[in-house]
Structure 1
Amino acid sequence: MAGSTGGPEHAPDTPDEVRRLAGSGPRAPVTDPTVGVPLRPTWQGAPRHRLVTIGDSLTHGFQSGAVFATDLSYPAIIAHELGWSEHFRRPNYPGLGGLPLNIEVLLRDLERRYGAELDWWEAPGAVFHARDLMDRVEDYWERGPGTVRPLTQGINHNLGIYGWDLRDVLDRTAKSCADELRRPKDHLLRQVIEHNNARAALRVLPSMTPEERSLTVPAAAAQLGEEVGGPGGDPDHGVETLVVFLGANNALSAVSQLKVVWSDDGYDDLERKRDFTVWRPSHFRAELAELAAQVLAIRARHVIWCTVPHVTIAPIARGVRAKVRPGSRYFPYYTRPWISDDDFDPDQDPHLTGAQARDIDLAVDQYNEDITAVVRAARREGRDWLLLDVAGVLDRLACRRYLEDPLARPDWWEPYPLPPEVAALDPPPDSRFLSVDGGRRCRGGLFSLDGVHPTTVGYGLIAQELINVMQGAGVEFRRPDGRTPRTAPVTVDFRRLIRRDTLINRPPANLDSSLSVLAWGDEVLDLFRRTLRFRF
């Protein structure tokens, strides 16, 4: 079978439980949201909360190194198509491009001052100018208007928080996040928003009362689920659709930091787990079991669990040199996208090996088998839990792994059909790192400038896949008036998203095909550590 041999041997420190997974080849995605367990549920009335989401940065709406336009997160896109935007509560991050540092804002600021190319004699001034912007961002969130959190009426429906893994969702609260904050220091040369993740979380988590400040994310969702009944209401469910999309941060740090440290004792401790970049499958399974037990307590009519994407596909870690062997999914090394094959030096440049990338994928495959098993077990007990295999969607979009290498494709693989409005773009967006030629996008477009998180159009694809599952479960979508039913199939308004997607329709002109401005920013500003290593 093409692609079945996978790739190189294991890295020396790979746990035995991961080594034992190697013989199965690439995991085939699950295309049936019911995982083969049919149900015939009957519902009464209309739940008060049509959509609630639990997740990490992919749910929060993180993009290009920051969370800012949460109205373009996939939950907000779904709420728009439900005709429920006016009721959908989400956090807001106004001012200076959001938290912690918006790479697009920085590049556009440099473009306005220095044009499409940064010449060598302009570099010292550019460093000073960039640090001035970063200092203003830091001041805004640590000492300025960003320290004032808006008072919200009711718990947010979007409960995604960037950087959080399963243990964070199980344990952290508004109180614990507030306790993390210390008196910030105004560093002269190190403009980093201290505890930026806790600051972002405090805009998500409920905190109006002492009781609310002690709620975890699942407990907050459970409170929404308790709001049942009322005129025409559902007597059993306060939430119509709950989406749970977690687990990427149990492996993502391995590619964002280009360092593999397998979880060990302390994986379930908020402090000790910071040392680990990828979780052993057994540790992930234990965390997942705790989370599933808490989700069971949420009175939601439908619960959609999303699988974990293969983080090695994200273009922040680019494969270099020729593939390990014909038909392999893996390159010998993975490094930063601006380091060319000719320039790469394994003795000098940060990297993962192909063996490490394969081991990470094997672990993620097991995470997803366990998520599938959780959904199947719940359905057998009569719960309307469903599965969206996001990992399979991303695999079908993987440009360098599969699209450019037919020999690496497993038997189940077929290219993902982009929506017509997206496919009509020139060029059609793909999973490579975004780059520009002559002021126009010449490649990429599905991933934003941090090389990990989607663009607005990319979030639209996630929203569409979830909408498809929701329609299959009988969820009614309505027009903007919130009352008039829409005719199936319901499709995302991608024209609206393309208009809002500045990276698709007007990318920064200084983002050339060599990505030299990002290489410069990472070298002199430590740019990607600031934006991708969330817990400072």
Structure 2
Amino acid sequence: MAIEVNPVWRGSPQHRLVTIGDSLTHGFQSGAIFNTDLSYPAIIAHELGWGESFRYPSYNGHGGLPLNIELLLRDLKDRFGPNLDGWEVPLALFHGRQFMDEVEDYWERGPGTVVPQLTSINHNLAVYGWDLRDVLDKTAKTCLQDIGVPRDDWLSQVTQDNGDRAALRVLPSAAADQSLTLLDAAARLGDERDSDPQHGIETLIVFLGANNALQAVTQLKVVWSDTGYDDLHGKRPYTVWTPAHFRAELGAVANRVRQIKARHVIWCTVPHVTIAPVARGVATKTGLGSRYFPYYTRPWISDREFNPRQDPHITGQQAEDVDLAIDLYNAAIVDEVERARRAGADWYLMDTAGLMDRLASRRYIEDPLARPPWWQPYPLPAQLQALLPEPNSRFLASNGNQRTDGGLFSLDGVHPTTIGYGIVAQELITVMRRAGVEFRQADGSVRADPVTVDFSRLIRRDTLINNPPGNLTSGLDILGWADQTLDLLRRTLCFRT
């Protein structure tokens, strides 16, 4: 931004990394929050040499919350093989519902109902499904109030109030701290100053705003915000915030972030939600050099089968309108960072929207005429380039033995795979190094530049890359079947309904 800031630091903040965000920061993947040790904040903490001290919530039971699509597909594969024969479909449907019922029982009536009484505040302060208003107002107390009496409904087997249940493992939940928001919790960490007399936090990352537009593609429904957008319950019907409403909410969050005692603050822009393969563009684009397809529907509905009169979809014009709104969201984020730097704060911007655009296969990589003047392909790290095929932003596909397409997005078509989170971590590390943050080896020695993510470690941990479910065929038939019969996407991604 060409706005120089030259702060003088003393000592070392007690908390080297704190993050505030939604599912992308929480570590959500394939319809569930489970591998929180592989969220991008945890990856950064590992590279900082601070992984053992970084605190994050855990969700170990039955594959996490609300429903682990990968685990469900592997379970179906073990019982019915790589393909479902016609006579097996009723059995698979029954088994799928039984699997979901077991998950529901664990979190609603079983061990998952026991909320850890946290003695320390988490460093990863993120909850899937949360938007700007949630971060401003939600607390452990409001989440407990909103969790209703469980209903064991055989036709709607998904953990009830799963987002609130997940939040209780993130927010301070001890009796004395149940009224703290995520922003309050971060402020508490900032006040825990040790050798640095001014800051308890070295780097604070704020990655919010995606859920102010994401429901447009997860629900395939565009409902612009109106009266009540700034109320926890009044906002529920809306899937996209108007730019004016977003700017107002963002301003309130930014004012609270200014009060948190952090040396460096990094804000992330909001990705264009139509990049995610959960909404696949149908047929050919609307014109030469256009970024948009005439319709967007589920990735397992082929062009030949798609019928706009009966299949869920949004139009190309609606997709463009949502993306234009996100551009204005990001302009508001830029304005907040610029204003803070002019006031002397050491704030930075990480352009997540630009990063995802540079990885967009169907929008730009495969259509040179649609590329804006600034666009350049994102160079994947060497370890990822060596994978066959090279990972891309298409929906994950397999031939029954190995991955044949995709690799950057998990099985919900919205959230990254582990290596995808690694790319986000790498870009944030680059910003942190620009801010002068030291990354250290396990022995405490300072790492030399360039500081790079250990992608070999992430590839070993990424089961969707090295061992995708054997029933995930290139035709995505099993996911389409699961969505139609088990209402899979609505249950795992429509967090407010």
User: Any idea what the Cα deviations from partners look like across 1:367-404, whole Å, max 9, x if unmatched?
Assistant: 00010010000000000000000000000000000000
Residue from 164, 177, 201 that aligns with 2:167: 201
- Counterpart CA distance in 2 for 1:290 and 1:351 is 33
Instruction: Name the counterpart of 1:479.
Output: 441
- Counterpart CA distance in 1 for 2:150 and 2:313 is 33
User: Any idea what the Cα deviations from partners look like across 1:280-309, whole Å, max 9, x if unmatched?
Assistant: 000000000000000000000000000000
Instruction: Name the counterpart of 1:169.
Output: 135
Deviation at 1:120, TM superposition (A): 1.1
What stretches of structure 1 move > 4 A for 4+ residues in a row? none
- Counterpart CA distance in 2 for 1:423 and 1:38 is 36
Instruction: Name the counterpart of 1:519.
Output: 480
Instruction: Name the counterpart of 1:497.
Output: 458
More contact order relative to length (CA 8 Å, sep ≥ 6): 1
Unaligned segments of structure 1, at least 5 residues: 1-34
Determine helix, strand or coil for the equivalent of 2:43: helix
1:365 matched to 2:327? The reply is yes
Instruction: Name the counterpart of 2:191.
Output: 226
Contact 1:47 1:228 in 2 (8 A): yes
User: Any idea what the Cα deviations from partners look like across 1:325-371, whole Å, max 9, x if unmatched?
Assistant: 11100000000000111111111111010000000000000000010
- Counterpart CA distance in 1 for 2:42 and 2:119 is 18
User: Any idea what the Cα deviations from partners look like across 1:122-148, whole Å, max 9, x if unmatched?
Assistant: 000001111111110000000111111
Instruction: Name the counterpart of 1:141.
Output: 107
Instruction: Name the counterpart of 2:30.
Output: 64
Contact 1:316 1:450 in 2 (8 A): yes
Contact 1:205 1:217 in 2 (8 A): yes
Residue from 213, 217, 229 that aligns with 2:178: 213
Determine helix, strand or coil for the equivalent of 1:324: coil
Deviation at 1:487, TM superposition (A): 1.0
- Counterpart CA distance in 2 for 1:294 and 1:430 is 37
Residue from 325, 329, 337 that aligns with 2:299: 337
Determine helix, strand or coil for the equivalent of 1:303: strand
Give matches, 1:231-380, under 5 Å.
233-380=195-342
Contact 1:334 1:354 in 2 (8 A): yes
Contact 2:282 2:303 in 1 (8 A): yes
AA at the equivalent of 1:518? L
Q: How high is the TM-score relative to the length of structure 2?
A: 0.99
AA at the equivalent of 1:486? R
Identity among equivalent pairs (%): 67
Instruction: Name the counterpart of 1:12.
Output: none
Give matches, 1:38-49, under 5 Å.
38-49=4-15
Deviation at 1:189, TM superposition (A): 2.4
User: Any idea what the Cα deviations from partners look like across 1:412-448, whole Å, max 9, x if unmatched?
Assistant: 1000000000111000100000011142111000000
Determine helix, strand or coil for the equivalent of 1:51: strand
Contact 2:400 2:470 in 1 (8 A): yes
- RMSD between aligned residues: 0.7
1:488 matched to 2:449? The reply is yes
Deviation at 1:86, TM superposition (A): 1.0
- Counterpart CA distance in 2 for 1:178 and 1:209 is 12
1:401 matched to 2:359? The reply is no
- Counterpart CA distance in 2 for 1:108 and 1:446 is 20
Instruction: Name the counterpart of 1:383.
Output: 345
- Counterpart CA distance in 2 for 1:248 and 1:70 is 19
AA at the equivalent of 1:115? G
Contact 1:303 1:385 in 2 (8 A): yes
- Counterpart CA distance in 1 for 2:116 and 2:441 is 29
1:103 matched to 2:69? The reply is yes
AA at the equivalent of 2:446? P
User: Any idea what the Cα deviations from partners look like across 1:22-65, whole Å, max 9, x if unmatched?
Assistant: xxxxxxxxxxxxx2211111100000000000000000000000
Number of aligned residue pairs: give it. Answer: 497
User: Any idea what the Cα deviations from partners look like across 1:240-293, whole Å, max 9, x if unmatched?
Assistant: 000000000000000000000000011001111110000000000000000000
Unaligned segments of structure 2, at least 5 residues: none
Deviation at 1:119, TM superposition (A): 1.1
AA at the equivalent of 1:500? R
Deviation at 1:535, TM superposition (A): 2.5
Instruction: Name the counterpart of 2:427.
Output: 465
- Counterpart CA distance in 1 for 2:222 and 2:496 is 17
Residue from 394, 403, 406 that aligns with 1:432: 394
- Counterpart CA distance in 1 for 2:230 and 2:91 is 45
Determine helix, strand or coil for the equivalent of 2:254: helix
AA at the equivalent of 1:341? D
Deviation at 1:95, TM superposition (A): 1.3
1:535 matched to 2:496? The reply is yes
User: Any idea what the Cα deviations from partners look like across 1:80-113, whole Å, max 9, x if unmatched?
Assistant: 0001111110000011100000000000000000
AA at the equivalent of 1:71? D
Determine helix, strand or coil for the equivalent of 1:241: strand
User: Any idea what the Cα deviations from partners look like across 1:197-219, whole Å, max 9, x if unmatched?
Assistant: 00000000002232x11011111
AA at the equivalent of 1:514? G
Determine helix, strand or coil for the equivalent of 2:62: coil
Instruction: Name the counterpart of 1:76.
Output: 42
Instruction: Name the counterpart of 1:20.
Output: none
Determine helix, strand or coil for the equivalent of 1:38: coil
Determine helix, strand or coil for the equivalent of 1:468: helix
Determine helix, strand or coil for the equivalent of 2:236: helix
Determine helix, strand or coil for the equivalent of 1:315: coil
AA at the equivalent of 1:50? R
AA at the equivalent of 2:313? H
- Counterpart CA distance in 2 for 1:208 and 1:438 is 47
